[in-house]
Amino acid sequence: MGSTVCRAVLDAPGLELVGAVDPLHAGIDLTQLGVHGTQIQVSPSAAALVDAGAQVAVDFTVLDAARQNLAWCAEHGVHAVVGTTGFSDAELGEFAERFERSTANAVIAPNFAIGAVLMMRFAELAAPYFETCEIIELHHDHKVDAPSGTAVLTAQRIAAASKDWGDDPTRTVVAEGARGGRVSGIPVHAVRLRGMVAHQEVLFGTTGQSLSIRHDTYDRSCFMPGVLLAVQKVSDTPGLTVGLDALLDL
């Protein structure tokens, strides 16, 4: 995702790529990572962004690193666009306070694919009209967390849109976990398969009918329009914004 973001920013009109940070690849020229047309070398720490004059930092890391990076951005007045997932409500509240005190703003989104954002919105709209719902999320075999941040947010939004759900008829569980895990009362099933990227299907059912809302990601480039949108709008979006919905006027 890091090299994909670098290429997208480099190619975007009106944006300039001024730095890259990754402790594991520090000292490597971006050309070695497939990003051509720049003399930038990968830096070991975010401090290099100040020297480079960065106005916006994009974070696709892991949770522990993202926590530190967000705190650093708030402290140093650098706008943050974050695609890392797993923050608790308490942490989001803390970062909201940090960025309210900062000269910088932040956008945190569990999914930057605009189609996925629309999928969540459509599911939220459908929820009051159905009595049962389950979510199946499918990802590549290197994803270490389950369920995905997108699935968690989808379940939370569905649950917030409707409190009236049918009872689970299951009385005997032959294999533990067969009915998935529950997020805000909504069953969520996680699949990890080699060859996949990121996919999610929301299944609704009521008497005599069902509705399936599915989004499929085939390449990481699908996230880039959403990332670039956030990069371009974060400076005009005060404080902390969670999700792309506000930027898409949904």
For residue 139, indicate whether it is catalytic.
Answer: yes
User: Considering 36, 76, 79, 139, which one is annotated as catalytic?
Assistant: 139
Percent of the chain with pLDDT over 90: 82
User: Considering 36, 79, 142, 143, which one is annotated as catalytic?
Assistant: 143
Q: What are the residue ranges spanned by the domains of the chain?
A: 2-108+221-248, 114-218
Mean pLDDT of 235-242: 95
Query: At 66, which amino acid appears?
Result: A
Mean pLDDT of 105-133: 95
- The 3-class secondary structure across the chain, one letter per residue, is CHHHHHHHHHHCCCCCCCCEECHHHCCCEHHHHCCCCCCCEEECCCHHHHHHCCCEEEECCCHHHHHHHHHHHHHHCCEEEECCCCCCHHHHHHHHHHHHHCCCCEEECCCCCHHHHHHHHHHHHHHHHCCEEEEEEEECCCCCCCCCHHHHHHHHHHHHHCCCCCCCCCCCCCCCCCCCEEECCEEEEEEECCCCCEEEEEEEEECCEEEEEEEEECCHHHHHHHHHHHHHHHHHCCCEEECCHHHHCC
Whether 6 shows a pLDDT value over 90: the answer reads yes
Q: What is the dihedral of CA 51, 56, 57, 63, to 10 degrees?
A: 140
Please tell me the predicted confidence (pLDDT) of residue 220. Answer: 84
Whether 141 shows a pLDDT value over 90: the answer reads yes
CA distances in angstroms from 36 to 32, 97, 125, 131, listed in the order given: 8, 38, 43, 52
Nearest CA among 103, 200, 101 for reference residue 143: 200
The overall pTM is greater than 0.85 = no
Please tell me the predicted confidence (pLDDT) of residue 188. Answer: 98
Please tell me the predicted confidence (pLDDT) of residue 230. Answer: 97
- Res. 111 pLDDT band, cuts 50 70 90: confident
CATH number of 114-218: 3.30.360.10
Please tell me the predicted confidence (pLDDT) of residue 15. Answer: 95
CATH of 2-108+221-248, one of 3.40.50.720, 3.90.1200.10, 1.10.630.10, 3.90.79.10: 3.40.50.720
Tokens encoding 69: 């990076």
Mean pLDDT of 131-147: 95
Rounded to whole angstroms, how far apart are CA atoms 29 and 31?
5
Mean pLDDT of the chain: 94
- Res. 120 pLDDT band, cuts 50 70 90: very high
Rounded to whole angstroms, how far apart are CA atoms 100 and 136?
36
Rounded to whole angstroms, how far apart are CA atoms 67 and 47?
15
Whether 54 shows a pLDDT value over 90: the answer reads yes
Contact between 133 and 119 (Cβ < 8 Å): no
Query: At 126, which amino acid appears?
Result: A
Name the CA radius of gyration of the chain, rounded: 20
Mean pLDDT of 218-236: 94
Whether 34 shows a pLDDT value over 90: the answer reads no
Q: What is the pLDDT of residues 57-91, one digit of tens each?
A: 999 998 999 999 999 999 999 999 999 888 999 99
Whether 24 shows a pLDDT value over 90: the answer reads no
Rounded to whole angstroms, how far apart are CA atoms 60 and 226?
13
